[in-house]
């Protein structure tokens, strides 16, 4: 009988570190677009509109990246389940880095007219396709290399790439914002995108040193790879797919409210400086990097569902006092208002998420399943959130309470979905799981 080799502590730590670094670079590229959108793209690529309308149009191109993410998830999930995780991670890193670098070279609307936003849109689509294949592979490299009772901890390491990427992108933009407004808009913002070339070289060097996961290597020896993994996924795991989509709702909404929309809210609705808004995100990201592995470790002890569900509900409650504190216009209180729900509670959801979603599926369709849940839910949970929040702010006459109510309702949906899942944090990931009830016992 075939058995997976037990990875050594040093190899697991190497894989976890490589996953975190690679994910950080990919998310830097993706989030940089969101950070720069309300500061630059609305002015340089959509200049002939009212500021709010221009911001909405710029956020629409931001949203397109989330529409293309499921495409990347399906394409790269297919090959990740057929040929392996490692090769796909190298390809996605190159796609992301190239698209981000080219955004830094784009001429503006003033230079080439409507071609400027059109080209921006195309490159954003490529970013979405690249990140669509990235997340599933990065978390599986960590989770499938991990010992059974430490999957939550090591699976949280690629999750660190999100706050680290946001921290890096926000930090770079904050430094460049020290330039005069004219200089920042003329060329300063481009530096942040062009830096991606250096980061990608570092990421490729690290990723090429990591071996294929033991779970997939063992499965590949059987020669039982699905011809079309995505179709197999829908046939054999429909219930877990639906519950995963619902569970991730609060995670995507929380991140894009406090990590993306908050920049536009603080600078426009509250009339504060870019530095105050970016400072809140930077502080929260620093704390989150520490909290993610802590919550990942706790999920190994107490279970993913408990941590994820409680975290969802607490976020839904805390969003009200958080936005109330922001009305004080005090930079320190704004930082606290963002940090408590985003840095201290959100990691209880995002930290265990990699292991939670990975454990929902068999090795045969695991890359496709985890990627599809994460990327397809990104359309409504992440990409639409800044647009919805901006519109709710307009309806509320710049008062944030409709936004808070929206987050609260989403938290209830996600908590219900995660509690409806089976507890699988002790399952053996090298063997098939029990059949999904919705398939009526189909293999």
**Residue 116: pLDDT above 60?**
yes
Per the prediction, the chain carries an average pLDDT of 84
User: Of the given ranges (175-189, 273-287, 296-310), which has the lowest mean pLDDT?
Assistant: 175-189
At residue 20 the predicted structure's pLDDT band, cuts being 50, 70 and 90, is confident
The pLDDT, as a whole number, for residue 440 is 41
Question: How crowded is residue 111: how many other Cβ atoms within 10 Å of its Cβ?
Answer: 10
CB within 8 Å of 244: residues ≥ 6 apart: 357, 360, 369, 373, 377, 417
Burial 253-271 (b: 16+ CB within 10 A, else e): bbbbbbbbbbbbbbbbbbe
Q: Is pLDDT of 281 > 70?
A: yes
How far is Cα 292 from Cα 122, in angstroms, rounded to an integer?
A: 33
Inter-residue contact 370 to 357 (CB < 8 Å): yes
Q: How much is the pLDDT for 4? A: 47
pLDDT of residue 406: 97
Query: How far, in Å, CA of 253 to CA of 409, rounded?
Result: 11
The two three-digit tokens of residue 114, written as one number: 């409507």
Residue 295, pLDDT > 90, answer yes
Is residue 8 predicted with pLDDT exceeding 50?
A: no
pLDDT in tens, 31-47: 787 777 777 777 777 76
> Which region among 308-317, 336-345, 385-394 has the lowest average model confidence (pLDDT)?
385-394
- 397 phi-psi bin (left φ>0, alpha ψ -120 to 50, beta other): left
d(CA 367, CA 362): 9
Query: Would you give the end-to-end CA distance of the chain in angstroms?
Result: 21
Which ranges of 268-303 would DSSP assign to H, the alpha helix?
Answer: 274-302
Q: What average pLDDT does the segment 218-243 reach?
A: 86
Mean pLDDT, range 168-183, rounded to an integer:
83
The answer, yes or no, to whether residue 259 has pLDDT greater than 80, is yes
d(CA 184, CA 135): 32
Q: In angstroms, what is the C-alpha Rg of the chain?
A: 21
Residue 162 · residue 350 · CB < 8 Å = yes
* 357-368 burial code (b ≥16 CB/10 A, e <16): bbbbbbbbbbbb
Whether the Cβ atoms of residue 289 and residue 164 lie closer than 8 Å to each other: yes
- pLDDT higher at 226 or 140: 140
> 3-state DSSP helix/strand/coil percent for the chain, to nearest 5?
80, 0, 20
Cα–chain center distance at 287: 17
């Amino acid at each position: 009988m075939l058995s997976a080799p037990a990875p050594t502590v040093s190899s697991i730590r190497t894989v976890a570190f490589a996953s975190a670094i690679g994910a950080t670079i990919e998310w830097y590229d993706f989030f940089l677009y969101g950070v720069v959108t309300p500061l630059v793209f609305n002015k340089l690529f959509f200049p002939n509109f009212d500021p709010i309308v221009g911001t909405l149009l710029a956020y629409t191109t931001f949203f397109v990246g989330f529409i293309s993410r499921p495409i990347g998830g399906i394409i790269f999930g297919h090959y990740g389940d057929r040929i392996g995780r490692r090769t796909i991670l190298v390809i996605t890193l190159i796609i992301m880095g190239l698209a981000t670098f080219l955004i830094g070279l784009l001429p503006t609307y003033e230079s080439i007219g409507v071609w400027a936003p059109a080209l921006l849109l195309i490159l954003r689509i490529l970013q979405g396709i690249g990140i669509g294949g990235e997340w599933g592979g990065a978390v599986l490299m960590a989770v499938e290399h991990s010992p059974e009772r430490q999957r939550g901890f090591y699976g949280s390491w690629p999750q660190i790439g999100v706050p680290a990427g946001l921290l890096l992108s926000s930090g770079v933009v904050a430094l460049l914002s020290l330039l005069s407004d004219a200089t920042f808009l003329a060329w300063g913002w481009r530096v942040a995108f062009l830096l991606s070339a250096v980061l990608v070289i570092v990421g490729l060097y690290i990723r090429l040193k990591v071996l294929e996961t033991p779970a997939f290597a063992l499965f590949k020896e059987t020669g039982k790879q699905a011809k079309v993994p995505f179709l197999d996924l829908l046939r054999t795991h429909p219930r877990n797919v639906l519950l995963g989509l619902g569970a991730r709702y609060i995670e995507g909404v929380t991140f894009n409210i406090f990590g993306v929309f908050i920049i536009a809210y603080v600078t426009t609705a509250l009339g504060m400086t870019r530095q105050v808004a970016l400072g809140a995100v930077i502080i929260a990201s620093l704390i989150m990097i520490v909290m993610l592995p802590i919550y990942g470790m706790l999920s190994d002890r107490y279970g993913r569902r408990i941590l994820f569900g409680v975290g969802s509900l607490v976020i839904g409650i805390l969003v009200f006092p958080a936005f109330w504190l922001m009305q004080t216009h005090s930079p320190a209180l704004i930082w606290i208002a963002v940090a408590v729900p985003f840095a201290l509670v959100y990691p209880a959801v995002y930290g265990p998420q990699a292991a939670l979603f990975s454990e929902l599926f068999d090795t045969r369709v695991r890359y496709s399943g985890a990627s599809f849940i994460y990327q397809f839910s990104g359309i409504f949970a992440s990409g639409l959130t800044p647009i919805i929040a901006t519109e709710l702010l307009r309806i509320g006459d710049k008062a944030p309470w409709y936004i808070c109510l929206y987050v609260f309702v989403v938290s209830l949906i996600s908590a219900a979905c995660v509690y409806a899942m089976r507890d699988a944090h002790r399952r053996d990931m090298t063997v098939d799981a029990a059949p999904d009830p919705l398939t009526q016992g189909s293999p």
